[in-house]
Amino acid sequence: MCGLSSAGPAVFPTQTGTCWAMGDPHFRTFDGYYYNFMGNCTYTITKNCQIDYHHPPFQVDVTNKVLPNSHLTAVSEVTINIYGMKIQMIRSEFGTVKINDQAWILPVSFTNNLGTVKLMQSGLSAVLWVDFGMTVQYDWQEYVAVTMPSGFMGHVCGLCGNFNGNKDDDLATPNGTVVKSVTEMGRSWRVPMRGLEDEDFCKDECTGECAECSFGKRLAADMFCGMLTPILDIQFRDCHALIDPSIFFDMCKFDHCRGGGLKDYLCRILQVYTDACQRAGIKVHDWRHLARCAEPACPSHSHFEQCGNACPPTCLGNTTCDTPCVQACVCDEGYIRSGNKCVSKTKLCLDNTIVE
Ligand SMILES: [Ca+2]
């Protein structure tokens, strides 16, 4: 090809795979396999297992912890190792992330000789974007989603599976062996944290009271989650092709049983479903009124919008993104986003550095 000088033909991803974990962790792999795994240790959900020049190393780990006053476990921390940096998104630390153990207010980005990473708040979640097209989203509560560009098909491994287009081989251990037991698969991806002491505090499987669901509890769960059916059928009708509503119904029953009926669970499950549909560009009709769910609490000088700007202007300037509208705390007139706060436009924005 005379006259052309390039490292090679540009490869544009034509599709992405999405893996997520939510609730008492329910997983969906990149290839679309669904399973429940309640281990409450730290696990690798995805990493590059076939590193080469075009596929740099990265690793995404989640730490699951038992929620207070219940048997439910949920993702409480997401750790991403990329380009020599350690980035952590931690439950309840809204509007911030940790980079190499230092807390930073969003948005923040960095570029080094290996590549570029951007972190921003989008809707109710932190979103990390890596230059090769991967994104990691965490809602600072219980929902984590990773999107992977198609160029990484067959390169990844972990709880999110190998992304080879076949969902039947996703329960695999690090050496590639496909196993039948979710617990066995999950345990094989455990990340050793602080040596042996962690063994006392975390378990890969649920036993005893954890696994029980009596007839009475099942009946109550059926009734409670039955309330989902009319809402899913009508308010989420445009999203059925993207996400099977029966999966959400099953997740609700499972968690209701184990959680003893957390009252706000139904609302959170619908909130996560809404987010997934909206980010896929699908309109979700108002359901909070019908389900009697309160709007999420928003910081001072902001209000909740079901369809808010996914990339609102911040103290660091305007941002643009292709993401359609999402549920968001939108700053009131005259205020602008700085981290998780809305500050007066006429005052100086917070210095985007270290959290006090
Ligand atoms: Ca697969």
Residue 343: the pLDDT is 86
- Boundary (domain end) residue, out of 146, 170, 201: 201
Nearest Cα to Cα of residue 81 among 26, 134, 27: 134
- With respect to residue 354, please indicate whether it lies within any of the assigned structural domains: no
Residue 184 burial by CB count (10 A; 0-12/13-18/19+): exposed, middle or buried? middle
Q: Is residue 189 located within the same domain as residue 235?
A: no
Torsion of CA 269, 273, 279, 281, to 10 degrees: -150
Please list all protein residues whose beta carbon sits less than 5 angstroms from ligand 1, which is an ion: 31, 161-162, 164, 166, 169-170
Least confident of 25-39, 147-161, 222-236, 250-264: 250-264
Residue 198: the pLDDT is 54
- With respect to residue 351, please indicate whether it lies within any of the assigned structural domains: no
Percent of the chain predicted with pLDDT > 70: 87
155 alpha carbon to ligand 1 midpoint, in Å? 11
> Would you place residue 22 in the very low, low, confident or very high pLDDT band (cuts 50, 70, 90)?
confident
- With respect to residue 195, please indicate whether it lies within any of the assigned structural domains: yes
- Boundary (domain end) residue, out of 233, 256, 291: 291
Q: Is residue 196 located within the same domain as residue 217?
A: no
Nearest Cα to Cα of residue 252 among 5, 74, 24, 12: 24
Q: Is residue 244 located within the same domain as residue 173?
A: no
Per-residue pLDDT averaged across 177-185, rounded?
A: 95
Residue 9: the pLDDT is 46
- With respect to residue 308, please indicate whether it lies within any of the assigned structural domains: no
236 alpha carbon to ligand 1 midpoint, in Å? 28
Q: Is residue 217 located within the same domain as residue 169?
A: no
Two structure tokens written together for 260: 């003893």
Residues 77-116 pLDDT 10s? 999 999 999 999 999 999 999 999 999 988 899 999 999 9
> Would you place residue 120 in the very low, low, confident or very high pLDDT band (cuts 50, 70, 90)?
very high
- Residues in Cβ contact with 197 at an 8 Å cutoff, skipping those fewer than 6 apart: none
Q: Is residue 100 located within the same domain as residue 146?
A: yes
304 alpha carbon to ligand 1 midpoint, in Å? 38
Residue 1: the pLDDT is 38
Per-residue pLDDT averaged across 259-277, rounded?
A: 78
Residues 204-259 pLDDT 10s? 876 555 556 778 888 888 888 888 888 888 888 888 877 778 888 888 888 777 76
CA 37 to CA 193: how far, in whole Å?
A: 19
52 alpha carbon to ligand 1 midpoint, in Å? 20
Residue 158, pLDDT > 50, answer: yes
226 alpha carbon to ligand 1 midpoint, in Å? 32
CA 78 to CA 126: how far, in whole Å?
A: 11
Residue 350: the pLDDT is 55
**DSSP for residue 237:** G
Q: Is residue 147 located within the same domain as residue 279?
A: no
Residue 355, pLDDT > 80, answer: no
161 alpha carbon to ligand 1 midpoint, in Å? 6
264 alpha carbon to ligand 1 midpoint, in Å? 34
Name the 3-class secondary structure at 291.
helix
Residues 272-300 pLDDT 10s? 889 988 988 898 988 998 888 899 999 99
Per-residue pLDDT averaged across 73-78, rounded?
A: 91
Residues 319-350 pLDDT 10s? 777 778 999 999 999 998 887 788 887 765 65
Q: Three-state SS string across 52-90, please?
A: ECCECCEEEEEEEEECCCCCCEEEEEEEEEECCEEEEEE
DSSP H stretches of helix in the chain: 182-188, 198-201, 215-226, 228-234, 245-259, 265-279, 288-291
- With respect to residue 8, please indicate whether it lies within any of the assigned structural domains: no
Q: Is residue 57 located within the same domain as residue 136?
A: yes
Structural domains of the chain, count = 2
Contact 19, 161 (CB under 8 A): yes
Q: Is residue 136 located within the same domain as residue 104?
A: yes
Residue 215: the pLDDT is 82
Average pLDDT, the chain: 85
Residue 10, pLDDT > 60, answer: no
169 alpha carbon to ligand 1 midpoint, in Å? 5
Residue 321: the pLDDT is 77
CA 285 to CA 282: how far, in whole Å?
A: 10
Structure-model confidence comparison of residues 343 and 30, the more confident one = 30
Residue 76: the pLDDT is 93
- With respect to residue 29, please indicate whether it lies within any of the assigned structural domains: yes
Residue 172: the pLDDT is 97
Q: Is residue 61 located within the same domain as residue 132?
A: yes
Range of the domain at 244: 213-291
- Boundary (domain end) residue, out of 144, 176, 201: 201
Select, from the ranges 70-74, 170-174, 216-220, the one with the highest average predicted confidence (pLDDT).
Answer: 170-174
